[in-house]
Amino acid sequence: MNAILAERTNFTPLANGPDLARALDEANVPTLLAAYVHLSHNTDLLEQFAPHIRPAFSYPPTEIPDELADALRLKLRHLLTTGEGLASSEPSDALVQRIMSVTVGEPVDTEFVDLVNDQCGFRPWIDRSKLPDRPAPKAGFKVLVIGAGMTGMAAATKLREAGYEFVVIEKNPEVGGTWYENRYPGVGVDTPSHFYSFSWEIWPDWQHYHPHGADMQRYMTGVADKYDLRRDIRFNTTVEKLVWDEKSCTWTVTVRRADGQTEDLVVNAVINGHGPVNRPKMPDIPGLSGFKGPVVHTAAYPADLDLKGKRVAVIGTGASSAQLCGAIAPEVAELTVYQRTKHWVLYNPEIAHEVSEGMKWALANIPTFKEWFRFRVYWAAADGLFSNVLKDPAWEGNMLAVSEGNEMTRQYALGYMQQRFADRPDLIEKLTPDFPIFSKRIILDNGWFDALARPNVHLETQGIARILPNGIEAKDGSVFECDVIICATGFNVAQMVGNLVIRGEGGRELGEEWGAEDPRSYLGMCVPGYPNYFHTVGPNSAPNHAAGQNLISEAQVNWIIEALDRITEAGARAFEVEQDAFDAWNRKVDERMPQMIWTHPRANSYYNNSKGRVFLSWPWRLVDFFNATRRPEPGCYRLID
């Protein structure tokens, strides 16, 4: 039974009052259409709307005739206030697929139906607490989770649901991970709010369509409250070392408590959810340590740093810099931004918009509306964009794109830049990249271009020669005297074990095997020689074609618990990926990468290591990752008795 329909068995009509009227007037119309067809199974309006809905970022954009939108509102209002026309069963997969295709303006294949049912909460993939024949986890089998960010919180929620004993070790005093740590002015999320959340906790209360950092942290703490996650989390505690014992098939995990003392915890399995973006990377620039004023990194931004009226230098022009500069430019006396590499910038008019009260009401009260809006956002921000990163072998247009669709997106971004800086050809020249769009992380404009156009802001592209005690000297000899230096220089992503010591079978050490920048794994999680160790958000599992880290985290947690269940079912003690499966998987990834935009001759980003190997990116769609992580494939692993 569809979970939402089950909740509506005793349908209670909504009041036909001003709240509903406002919601119908302000809510996203294609999503209202999806909700109406889902609830009624009436496809007449669906087919009438089909010619008018176009894909995201299309030109001309979607333009729905007023009389058609009004007809939809009338029909949906009648259904919601009377219950008349409400279907008595869940929609078929064929109808779900048709709703998806029409409401995003392009064909959506049947292979997406299971993902949408799960990720939109219509029919969650599995609730292990409700499987009557599932063997209970062995008493005393304990799992340790590193980190209480998005992946760690997902692991905690699903481990408890599955009946596993576990503990989460978190270095900070609160949950949230990235969104607890990153507090610089303007901090926000590229992924739209209504997708960047757990599929089992779809929130109708977002204040913005793209959450500010504080919004995201509020969501995380709200989830921790609702699911009582903190009772299994040890805060202010840092994991330092993991050592595998082959005789007992256990990991001894050395942690350092808040009092500075170390403690050894013996557990059966480890889920490492510390993520790749919690190790700030400071720039290696001569003289930096000798600067007399504050030098800060965006990921460790002091709460009491006052920039009003100050002369500020920002190093870097990636996403963090763009967000920061947009926020601080109006209040600082002078701002010089040092550009190391150019970035493509896309404009989504929703990024700065607050969610209207009517839209919030629709999300909270109209059945299936928030679920269908989540699908719409997923498609526009994730798999609907995948064609941008896949090379078309027949493409002969130019060296700045990899396909016709990718060229269209580039032209969209270029046109936006030229329109914004029509009177600043100097900025257009400085900002226009010479590589395909999506070959490195894009920036969503939320004040970045406004900041660059201000008279108190200067974009320096000459490079930095050295840091002086009172400022920064560029390579052309010019000096910007400043009071504060802010480093928006990203993270040490490639060294995925961070400072952890991880010793597996025979004393082998994972950090040594991966080295500083060449990690490899099976499905971004497992490495032979390290039984019962699961490294989430690992090599080649990042959805770099667009949004979707939340989906990756959920999918990996699902696969890991399935792996633990294989241990339980067999009465074994440990799970280890086979070397042959590991090797075959990495060959598959290596064979795929030449087809992807990230191996374009002009592509160079933190997705690649110094030898050019793309170690970070998942080279398929999110739906492919979802399908690949439903359960461990037979033959890919061995169980240790």
The pLDDT mean for the chain works out to: 95
| Beta-strand runs (E) in 553-636 | 574-577
The rounded distance, in Å, linking the Cα atoms of 231 and 414 is 50
Instruction: Write down how long the chain is.
Output: 641
Mean pLDDT confidence for 249-256:
98
Given a cut of 70, whether residue 3 has pLDDT beyond it is: no
Q: Containing H/E element for 256?
A: strand 250-256
- pLDDT tens, 284-317? 999 999 999 999 999 999 999 999 999 999 999 9
List, for residues 350-407, the tens digit of each pLDDT value: 666 889 999 999 999 999 999 999 999 999 889 998 999 999 999 999 999 999 999 9
How far is 576 from 398, CA to CA, in rounded Å? 46
Task: Report whether pLDDT(8) > 80.
Answer: no
pLDDT value of position 59: 73
Angle between helices 29-40 and 66-82 (to 10 degrees): 40
> Is the pLDDT score of 233 beyond 60?
yes
Give me the residue label for tokens 């008595």.
Answer: 88
CA distance 143 to 159: 9
Residue 579 in contact with residue 528, Cβ under 8 Å? yes
Q: What is the pLDDT of residue 275?
A: 86
Distance of CA 440 to CAs 43, 117, 195, 565, 592, Å?
A: 41, 31, 22, 38, 18
Q: Which residue has the tokens 């990926």?
A: 577
Q: Is the predicted pLDDT of residue 9 greater than 60, yes or no? A: no
Instruction: Give the Cβ contact number of residue 112 at 10 Å.
Output: 23
Instruction: Reply yes or no on whether the pLDDT at 545 is more than 80.
Output: yes
For residue 194, give the 3-state DSSP assignment: coil
pLDDT at position 190: 82
Which pLDDT score is estimated for 5? 44
Interaxial angle between packed helices 18-26 and 66-82, expressed in degrees from 0 to 180 and rounded to the nearest 10: 140
Which pLDDT score is estimated for 31? Answer: 97
Mean pLDDT in residue range 168-185: 96
- pLDDT, tens only, 96-121: 999 999 999 999 999 999 999 999 99
Q: Give the span between the Cα atoms of 87 and 77, in whole angstroms.
A: 15
Q: What angle do CA 73, 75, 81 make, to 5 degrees?
A: 95
User: What pLDDT band is residue 58 in, cutting at 50, 70 and 90?
Assistant: confident
Quickly state the pLDDT bin for 10 (edges 50, 70, 90): low
From the CB of residue 349, how many other CB atoms can be counted at a distance below 10 Å?
8
Separation between Cα atoms, residue 325 and residue 304, nearest integer Å: 18
Q: Tell how far CA 484 is from the center of its chain.
A: 31
pLDDT of residue 247: 97
Q: Tens digit of pLDDT for each residue in 589-639?
A: 999 999 999 999 999 999 999 999 999 999 999 999 999 999 999 999 999
Longest dimension (CA), the chain: 76
| Domains of the chain with CATH codes | 3-126+358-384 (no CATH), 135-279+493-640 (3.50.50.60), 288-351+397-487 (3.50.50.60)
CB 198 within 8 A of CB 554: yes
CA 336 to chain centre: 30
Q: CA nearest 30: which of 385, 382, 377, 350? A: 377
Residue in 322, 610, 597 with CA at minimum distance from that of residue 436: 597
Half-sphere exposure of residue 92: CA atoms within 13 angstroms, side-chain side: 6
The pLDDT tens digits of the residues spanning 418-464 come to: 999 999 999 999 999 999 999 999 999 989 999 999 999 999 999 99
Tokens representing 81 are 């206030």
The predicted pLDDT at position 442 comes to: 92
Q: For position 348, what pLDDT does the model report?
A: 76
Does 1 score more than 60 pLDDT? no
pTM, two decimal places: 0.95
pLDDT-wise least confident of 273-287, 322-336, 586-600: 273-287
Please state the rounded mean pLDDT for residues 510-533.
97
DSSP secondary structure string, 524-569? TTB-TT-TTEEETT-TT-B-TTSS-HHHHHHHHHHHHHHHHHHHHH
The answer to whether 293 and 425 are in contact (CB under 8 A) is: no
The percentage of the chain sitting over the pLDDT mark of 90, rounded to a whole number, equals: 90
Residue 19: pLDDT band (50, 70, 90) is very high
Q: Residue 472: what pLDDT? A: 98
Q: Which residues contact 109 (CB under 8 A, 6 or more apart)?
A: 97
Is residue 510 within 8 A of residue 241, CB to CB? The reply is no
